[in-house]
Structure 1
Amino acid sequence: MPGTLLTPRRLAIAAVCLVSLIVCCGLAYWQWERFSQAGGTFQNLGYVFQWPLFGLFPLFMVWRMRKLAAQRRAEDAGEPVVGARQPVVTVEPVKTPAPDDEDDELAVYNRYLRELNARDQR
């Protein structure tokens, strides 16, 4: 990948992104024409704004996949990744014995509540 900037695969991806944007902008224009007519509704106006976003989505996905691939390569190389999630450090809760004045059923219930709390803390 680092050798050449223009490969057939990259050109095909760029062409798909460009065609997607052109088609979706055409659909936005079509919806604008429908909105401008006497029977046009605000739903048509909503589509005017929505279609260009659909057209930009393939470009966003290419950007996102390239970013994730770069993060993966950096992680494999052992480099710190900026913006990557850091591992969560959990601490086990201190388990205290049940007081003698509790009955067995209450002690089991309290142990269950402590386990649920410990899971929520993780």
Structure 2
Amino acid sequence: MLRSLLTPRWLLLHVLFIVATIATGFLAVWQWDRAHEAGGSFQNLGYALQWPLFGAFTIFLWIKLVRMDFAQQRGEDETGSEPETSEEQRTTAPETAEQRRTRPLVPPPAPPVDADEDPELAEYNRYLAGLNESDQSPS
């Protein structure tokens, strides 16, 4: 698992997060010094207190990304539990590379809604269908 954190993508991310964290530290010290100079203000002091929070948030994001990557490798969702699958999904064979290449990017349309079921939704669907027809017709 830790080996996946040594891929070129992750090494670049590690460097980016380290540089961002160090930069927020330098910016905090710089604003702290500016606040104590003759031209300094409370705004500089506020920034000096905010930059460490930005650095802490950077570290939080770094840890969160690592944990999400590990969870993805284990096939879990973000909560740490296995993703729920239906009985049909468990019994079907995994998708092949050929099936993934030929799978349409746009899902099939939803079944039509009867005006008796939901008149507002039926009207909205008719409106969208009209927009689609006007978009498809040559101008």
TM-score where L is the length of structure 2: 0.45
- CA deviation vs aligned residue, 1:1-21 (integer Å, no higher than 9, x gap): x26142222211111111101
Q: Partners in 1 of 2:44 and 2:31 — Cα distance?
A: 5
Q: Mark the runs of 5 or more structure 1 residues left unpaired by the alignment.
A: 79-122
Between structure 1 and structure 2, the one with the greater Rg is 1
Structure 1 residues 42 and 3: alpha-carbon distance in aligned structure 2, compared to 1, 3 A threshold: closer
Q: CA deviation at 1:76?
A: 2.1
Match of 1:75 in 2: 82
Partner in structure 2 of residue 40 of structure 1: 40
> Residue type of the partner of 1:40?
G
* Moved >3 Å (runs of 4+): 65-69
Following superposition, the deviation at residue 48 of structure 1 comes to 0.9
TM-score (norm 1): 0.51
Aligned-pair RMSD on alpha carbons? 2.6
Q: Provide the rounded CA distance (Å) in 2 between the counterparts of 1:63 and 1:40.
A: 35
- Structure 2 spans left out of the alignment, 5+ residues: 86-139
Q: Deviations over 1:43-96 (max 9, x none)?
A: 211111111221232321232344456350632278xxxxxxxxxxxxxxxxxx
Which one scores higher on RCO, CA 8 angstroms, separation ≥ 6?
A: 1
Q: Distance in 2 between matches of 1:11 and 1:40?
A: 39
